[in-house]
Structure 1
């Protein structure tokens, strides 16, 4: 967790080579564990997509008061870069406009960032409401924001497996996205501890376990890129599978698993009721988690492109604890990880059930 969220990886995103550094780190861990590539000789499955980035200057003054990128303000992800000074005109309680520079200031109670595949011809600056209240009546704005539209950002899914001892062509797949939002300017970055360094940490922990304890079925591991940009890595994989999708007996995707005091939610539970009932029973028998809650079909993480292609899949996320999300406060030091071992134990038991001959339906 500390490594994946460190300054070295710059939020595993689109500035300072952060995503590529993270991919190489994960690949090296797979190699150290003795895992083989999922197919062929390469661990990385490369693809590309457009993304609007903010790699350089990111300064903002309102009424001469300097605001801090990431904590006090963020640009909307599609914003154009802009440099200039102007006057703010109030449009309503939360919106102020600098017409000359095509800037909209949008006051928000929580700053939540994302990723955009294009750059607009305007700039929207979201400002934290508490920070905004300290500048007085907003009248002037000075901004220096650099953006760069990268038409073909290079990314890669990182894929590995432990070959099955009896049924090597039947695969149980464990997945988690490793990308996050990257950096804003030269100082701010989004660590993405819960989202989703937590899922990658658990995946690597289980990869280490299975490297020492091969199973009758092959156990595959995929760390996806481009999830925050719209499930791009998992969509790419399902369109260019390294192994035939029909060989995947079950897929378990983990995203935001760093808490757990209130248990977990399982997306697609209603789609595969027998598998979900078994998961609940395994949890009850071992008393791993406070609750295993059911949720229906949802396109909210990397399981979705697979289940749309007919692959049985669950998506697990933990409940309770901190609520930092897509902001600079999602850091490793405040993420409790109190159910990390218990969730890992439940997953091991569930994988054993999947290999016992019981069909997931």
Structure 2
């Protein structure tokens, strides 16, 4: 792996000239990280570790200093995985995994055949019928909501919430939606939840057959990567992105091009730019690539609890997650929580017109900025709005990315840092 990276570098793939020219580097990096070689940067086949080795070599080629010889900050976590192909059938008709159904990632291995018991509009809107339904034994049934005629969104959401919590003590749950969004979990539960595309199931379905084999790993070894450029002071600015993604559901891979190879590319572009400058930055610049974000902000939480530079000396964290689209502009999540800093970004954009629409939002725990914000560090999360329909699906591939706001975000952050 290292030899291949060195060869690519010697061929000039990773040379840095000006940023406008370096979109070739951005696209090459995103394509590389979302390729089958990295197994979706998840926990099956150690995809995250393969990506870490690759990115460690990249940090070295840029010339970043490290807190360890390979930039690693190791930690362990439990994780539930699905290395073997699942099977699911409705009334004898087998469905296609990842495109027609997925399993909730907290599901244990399970195999069998069960009746589907439908929660209907009549049950949900009649107290007597609902009470009777709740007293029935559902321990051998999979429960599903028949949304036919159920046009009350609040009622439907309430029923979905009851199913997700399994208040009926069912053997399993069938959730029906137009989108399938896979994820990752560090814990398992004693019932199985299947998410099915709405077009593959109707209330006429009576039986569900399934064979799911999960592998729970109690102490999975993973790592953050952290490099830095020394500044004139020991206080720092952190640029972060998570490099992990969802890996495999059986033989179906989740590439994670926008989520979040694009954020990694942003951090690496910033590292290249600031390394190329002749003058030393005022603040030490830290470039952090976190693992475990998809399983619950694991890597960023670990860093925030074990900082390599004290959090008291961390002036600001700028996090990048899904930044390769943007037909509707960008969000700066947490912008309203740091109004003085947000005002600086707005002033830059007003003068330079780098992005066509920028909206600061309130507090959100939606990405790796959150653990830092909780500990009192100023933290922003840059996210492109629009064209994100492939989020957490197998269709999040590099060839689809328009990079509408990518260069604008880079220039905003570059100018902000150079004001310091």
TM-score if structure 2 supplies the norm length?
0.78
Hey, what's the Cα distance between the residues in 1 that align with 2:402 and 2:106? 33
Hey, what's the Cα distance between the residues in 1 that align with 2:359 and 2:177? 32
Hey, what's the Cα distance between the residues in 2 that align with 1:46 and 1:40? 10
- Name the counterpart of 2:23: none
Hey, what's the Cα distance between the residues in 2 that align with 1:247 and 1:308? 16
Hey, what's the Cα distance between the residues in 1 that align with 2:48 and 2:77? 13
- Name the counterpart of 2:76: 48
Partner deviation per Cα, 1:149-203 (whole Å, 9 max, x = no partner):
1111111111001222x33x12111001111111101x21212222211111111
Runs of 5+ consecutive residues of structure 1 not aligned to the other structure? 356-361
Change (3 A) 1:140 1:271: closer
Among 172, 181, 197, the residue aligned to 1:128: 197
Among 391, 398, 401, the residue aligned to 1:335: 401
- Name the counterpart of 1:178: 243
Which structure has the larger Rg over C-alpha atoms? Answer: 2
Partner deviation per Cα, 1:179-230 (whole Å, 9 max, x = no partner):
1111101x21212222211111111111122221252322110011111122
> Hey, which bits of structure 1, 4+ residues long, moved more than 6 A?
none
Could you tell which deviates more after superposition, 234-243 or 136-145?
136-145
- Name the counterpart of 1:99: 140
Note the C-alpha offset of 1:22.
1.2
Is the contact made by 1:322 and 1:335 (CA closer than 8 Å) also made in structure 2?
no
Mapping of residues 153-164 of structure 1, within 5 Å: 153-164=220-231
| In the alignment, structure 1 residue 9 sits paired with structure 2 residue 75 | no
Note the C-alpha offset of 1:42.
4.1
Could you tell which deviates more after superposition, 197-206 or 103-112?
103-112
Change (3 A) 1:122 1:264: same
Could you tell which deviates more after superposition, 211-220 or 121-130?
211-220
- Name the counterpart of 1:195: 259
TM-score if structure 1 supplies the norm length?
0.90
Change (3 A) 1:261 1:88: closer
Is the contact made by 1:269 and 1:314 (CA closer than 8 Å) also made in structure 2?
yes
Note the C-alpha offset of 1:98.
8.8
Mapping of residues 45-124 of structure 1, within 5 Å: 45-92=73-120, 99=140, 102-124=171-193
SS at 2:87 equivalent: strand
Q: Alignment length, in residue pairs?
A: 345
Hey, what's the Cα distance between the residues in 1 that align with 2:338 and 2:330? 17
Runs of 5+ consecutive residues of structure 2 not aligned to the other structure? 1-29, 122-137, 143-170
